Structure 1
Amino acid sequence: MDPLSRPVGHASANQSAIQSPRTPSKSQLSTTSAAAALPASMKTNEAKTFSSITNHANLSGRSSTRSNSLESSGGANKPHTGRDVRWEAIQFAIARGTIGLSNFRLLKRLGYGDIGSVYLVELRGTNAHFAMKVMDKASLASRNKLLRAQTEKEILGLLDHPFLPTLYTYFETDKFYCIVMEFCSGGNLHSLRQKQPNKHFTEEAARFYASEVLLALEYLHMLGIVYRDLKPENLLVRDEGHIMLSDFDLSLRCSVSPTLVKSSSVHVSSGSGGGGGILDDESVQGCMQPSTFFPRILPGKKNRKSKSDFGIFVGGSMPELMAEPTNVRSMSFVGTHEYLAPEIIRGEGHGSAVDWWTFGIFLYELLHGTTPFKGQGNRATLFNVVGQPLKFPENPQVSMAARDLIRGLLVKEPHKRIAYRRGATEIKQHPFFEGVNWALVRSALPPHIPEPVDFSQYASKEALPADKKGPDVGGDKNDVSPPENKNESYIEFEYF
């Protein structure tokens, strides 16, 4: 089959899902402009969806909610959010009983995508705000996308990283799946790029964002997760200016066995498949569910030798951890046209190297304000990805180190691509990232700090206290028309 004639835009159980054209796609948009960012045709429909969710919460109460809070949020704080007051608020609500839609007040829609919409919500009785992704069960089932929703929920439950989302709780009703996550006030990186002079970032700013994305991808690969949907729209900006990688419904879960690499050589031939001595060369298993994580650092005690016998200090450096799921193969046709790797378009099967291709496209877009293979239409874009060489415009000018890294990432044959075997370790050592203190990236000063959100604009307009609201029985739970006397708080929803 002609790879450029493969069907796109229709997801199936095999995850054939291409997002095009470039859209906000599930990401949280800025709270100050979310309504304006919606297509005009979406606003009326969204008002109905909003009221449907609200009415469902008010009428069903807690009786129809099935909570998975113990699995998703747990009893202990995750390390990087140990002093997060939102954790305390959620855990307090869970301690009082099963948590569900009735515990939250919907304030504004932040974004929408293929499998659900994301809302800014407030936990009732607190000042804690969250982003809640709401997915309609019937819609997912009718489009064979239940697996994608399940995949995203499972992956979010695994994550504990400063540049990845925090899952506070998950629950479902008879109508909706709901994922409660961290709210990012700064919108997405695509919108932020559009506001830059000439619509591109400085090289210093691009290095900052790329370094945080690189650490997030490294962590995901260590967990056996191939992300597959990297683009600025899926990078959200937190209150303090650091980023958060979002949207995992197109991700692939595999097993991976991290190993140590003796050599710390910076320059490794791109066709060598890595380099250095691997202490355990059986480092990757095939694709499976769920992911497994088997760190193999040193031999057992009986056969353990001295550190020098294993070359622990080769060239005066510690060995490198390699955790790249290179052997995974997927035939899914997923992604965004401008970011698709050639092996996906050609239908050859793909693995974790697609994330390094998209990382190259991502870095190119941050520096130049456009993607390198964009054509007049989607078909032309796919043709350019497969058949056209990489070119750099004369302006804006970027450093030779930046161009060299992008060239190494945008190699059309995945096995020759930088990081194919050694993953993020090889990219970290590239001259483009010279001077980056990887241990202190989280403490670096961001190039942009979002304006704080004034949550007082969402002050409650409810006529009755939450515990004295209308009856929990009667009425049509699927009613989407604005009731006149049922709940006055509907007024703040109907204009979305």
Structure 2
Amino acid sequence: MPPPPSLIPFTKLNSLFPPTRTPLSLSLSLTHNTANSNSIIITVVIVRIISDTMHSSAEDDSDNPATTAGAEWTFTARNHAPSSDPCWEAIERGGGTLGLGDLRFVQRVGSGDIGSVYLVELKGSNGCLFAAKVMDKKELVARNKDTRAKVEREILQAVDHPFLPTLYASLDSPRWSCLLTEFCPGGDLHVLRQRQPDKRFHHAAVRFYASEVVVALEYLHMMGIIYRDLKPENVLIRSDGHVMLTDFDLSLKGDDTTSTAQIVFDQDPPSNTCSNDHSKNQCALAMSSCMLPNCIVPSVPCFHPKRGRSKRSSRCGSVEIVAEPIEIRSTSFVGTHEYLAPEVISGEGHGNAVDWWTLGVFIFELFYGMTPFKGVEHELTLANIVARALEFPKEPMIPGAARDLISQLLVKDSTMRLGSTMGALAIKHHPFFNGVNWALLRCATPPYIPASDKCKELVRLYNCTTNTIDFY
């Protein structure tokens, strides 16, 4: 009989969680892992105390027409301003208050269902650029979209992650609402894919972008948020070549402030091998992985064993955070047709597993330049998603591990889908991601880095004035 698993001292639990300005309350329960007698699972109930700024933002919005009768704009700064950020410092130098009159609109860079996005420059900042999502509040109410706008703002105020947007400010007037976030000069993955040979990415690029998306989704799920709108158009490329997920108006945010995570400590991890069997991938807990979604790891050598390391290092156990499942469900029919999961179409109710379905479609499209179930019209696309078996084109030839990952993500039964039980942990352990150093993703060299002078060129070429954009 194997020896009993080692317990993690309670005094070391703090090292498992990153520093945060959001207070946390923890309650613990211990259970043995039936799949591995030499491991222990600590179930952690994480109670996030929502900050005052999140609650007050909704209250300020509802009272806005009355409270701003004598003033044109109200300004709410983000509650976790990034350190050493020149754009944030530029806002502070201006007195810490902001209105749309302080912004010079350069170019419209996109539009969506609830608003338009503009490249804007902060006046007097020597080229400090932002993306401004401007929404007509009256139109939102008339189209019953105001709740979606409120959810997006609350999510942006809450998240703090390297692959998610930095919200600098939320601006409100009686008519307009504006979210000021960072500008990504690299455009989106859909446009970038169109520029590739044969309009598709090679294996290394797909793995790079998919791994960063996985980590971003893992963080959102731990925060009690289901993204529900993953597609190449919503994955932007920052100035350093890393990704940023955008557009959260379709996201589902749990009303309950409690989510459940599991800390899995495996003292005697299995060898670094995988099979194509779904159950083995769900239970494999020993390969290299971020302990937490934001890639904070106390000791990289313990979590990334390599050849030639000492025996002492190789005996280090594996500590993992499992952030799923999120116990929130929805029957809403939302998303992009080609990316909808079968359970969304059937209306049977869906949870966090929809994000892993969309990840499978996302990876398929990056490899093949098309989505797997697209029909000649929307109705046929939906029928294909529900009933048609997954088929892979003969060209291009992609690695077997990539085909296997896509197949496990595009399982129509959401309860059997890769990630439905063990979340991102099972996905990160898949052989497709072998060699990915999850703890140091931000140190990896991106396949594409935007030209450093691209922003300045945009400002020079598209010098539209606020007179042509009436936001007052």
Please classify the TM superposition score into its range, dividing by the shorter chain length.
0.7 to 0.9
Cα deviation, 1:189-219, whole Å, max 9, x if unaligned, reads 0000011111110011100100111111111
Choose which of 259, 262, 283 in structure 1 pairs with 2:262.
Answer: 259
Matches within 5 A, 1:238-277: 238-254=238-254, 255-263=258-266, 270=278, 274-275=282-283
Letter of the structure 2 residue corresponding to residue 91 of structure 1: E
Shift of 1:454: 4.7
- The answer to whether the 8 A contact 1:326-1:421 is kept is no
- The answer to whether the 8 A contact 2:230-2:358 is kept is yes
Which residue does the alignment assign to 1:63?
A: 71
- The answer to whether the 8 A contact 2:186-2:236 is kept is yes
Cα deviation, 1:418-460, whole Å, max 9, x if unaligned, reads 1111111111111000001111111111111222325266369
Which residue does the alignment assign to 2:112?
A: 113
Shift of 1:92: 2.4
Matches within 5 A, 1:74-473: 74=79, 77-78=81-82, 82-95=83-96, 98-126=97-125, 127-254=127-254, 255-263=258-266, 270=278, 274-275=282-283, 316-451=316-451, 452-455=453-456, 458=459
Cα deviation, 1:11-54, whole Å, max 9, x if unaligned, reads xxxxxxxxxxxxxxxxxxxxxxxxxxxxxxxxxxxxxxxxxxxx
Shift of 1:239: 1.3
Shift of 1:130: 0.3
Shift of 1:174: 0.9
Please state which structure has a larger fraction of its residues in strand. 2
Number of matched pairs: 366
Which residue does the alignment assign to 1:482?
A: none
- Following the alignment from structure 1 to structure 2, what is the Cα–Cα distance between the partners of residues 92 and 437? 39
Structure 2 unmatched runs, 5+: 1-67, 286-312
- Following the alignment from structure 2 to structure 1, what is the Cα–Cα distance between the partners of residues 445 and 177? 37
- Following the alignment from structure 1 to structure 2, what is the Cα–Cα distance between the partners of residues 184 and 459? 17
Letter of the structure 2 residue corresponding to residue 439 of structure 1: A
- Following the alignment from structure 1 to structure 2, what is the Cα–Cα distance between the partners of residues 404 and 457? 42
- Following the alignment from structure 2 to structure 1, what is the Cα–Cα distance between the partners of residues 344 and 161? 28
What is the alpha-carbon root mean square deviation over aligned residues?
2.7
- The answer to whether the 8 A contact 1:189-1:233 is kept is yes
- Following the alignment from structure 2 to structure 1, what is the Cα–Cα distance between the partners of residues 361 and 189? 14
Change (3 A) 1:434 1:93: same
Scaled by the length of structure 1, the TM-score of the pair is 0.69
Scaled by the length of structure 2, the TM-score of the pair is 0.73
- Following the alignment from structure 1 to structure 2, what is the Cα–Cα distance between the partners of residues 414 and 430? 18
Q: Which moved more, 1:393-402 or 1:265-274?
A: 265-274
Change (3 A) 1:261 1:101: same
- Following the alignment from structure 2 to structure 1, what is the Cα–Cα distance between the partners of residues 284 and 439? 23
Q: Which moved more, 1:255-264 or 1:353-362?
A: 255-264
Which residue does the alignment assign to 1:46?
A: none
Shift of 1:62: 9.2
Cα deviation, 1:34-87, whole Å, max 9, x if unaligned, reads xxxxxxxxxxxxxxxxxxxxxxxxxx9992211222xxx23x643xxx222011
Change (3 A) 1:207 1:276: closer
| Higher-RCO chain (CA-CA 8 Å, sequence separation at least 6) | 1
- The answer to whether the 8 A contact 1:273-1:416 is kept is no
- Following the alignment from structure 1 to structure 2, what is the Cα–Cα distance between the partners of residues 493 and 347? 41
Letter of the structure 1 residue corresponding to residue 93 of structure 2: F
- Following the alignment from structure 2 to structure 1, what is the Cα–Cα distance between the partners of residues 411 and 462? 56
- Following the alignment from structure 1 to structure 2, what is the Cα–Cα distance between the partners of residues 84 and 387? 49
- Following the alignment from structure 1 to structure 2, what is the Cα–Cα distance between the partners of residues 372 and 101? 43
Change (3 A) 1:179 1:271: same
- Following the alignment from structure 2 to structure 1, what is the Cα–Cα distance between the partners of residues 437 and 427? 14
Structure 1 unmatched runs, 5+: 1-59, 278-312, 463-487
Cα deviation, 1:450-485, whole Å, max 9, x if unaligned, reads 2232526636999xxxxxxxxxxxxxxxxxxxxxxx
Q: Which moved more, 1:169-178 or 1:446-455?
A: 446-455
- The answer to whether the 8 A contact 1:260-1:320 is kept is yes
- Following the alignment from structure 1 to structure 2, what is the Cα–Cα distance between the partners of residues 182 and 357? 28
Name the SS of the counterpart of 2:318 in structure 1: coil
Letter of the structure 2 residue corresponding to residue 163 of structure 1: F
- Following the alignment from structure 2 to structure 1, what is the Cα–Cα distance between the partners of residues 466 and 424? 48
- Following the alignment from structure 1 to structure 2, what is the Cα–Cα distance between the partners of residues 368 and 271? 27
- The answer to whether the 8 A contact 2:106-2:462 is kept is no
- The answer to whether the 8 A contact 1:261-1:276 is kept is no
- Following the alignment from structure 2 to structure 1, what is the Cα–Cα distance between the partners of residues 317 and 201? 34
- The answer to whether the 8 A contact 1:193-1:366 is kept is yes
Name the SS of the counterpart of 2:397 in structure 1: coil
- Following the alignment from structure 2 to structure 1, what is the Cα–Cα distance between the partners of residues 130 and 92? 14
- Following the alignment from structure 1 to structure 2, what is the Cα–Cα distance between the partners of residues 401 and 368? 15
Change (3 A) 1:355 1:170: same
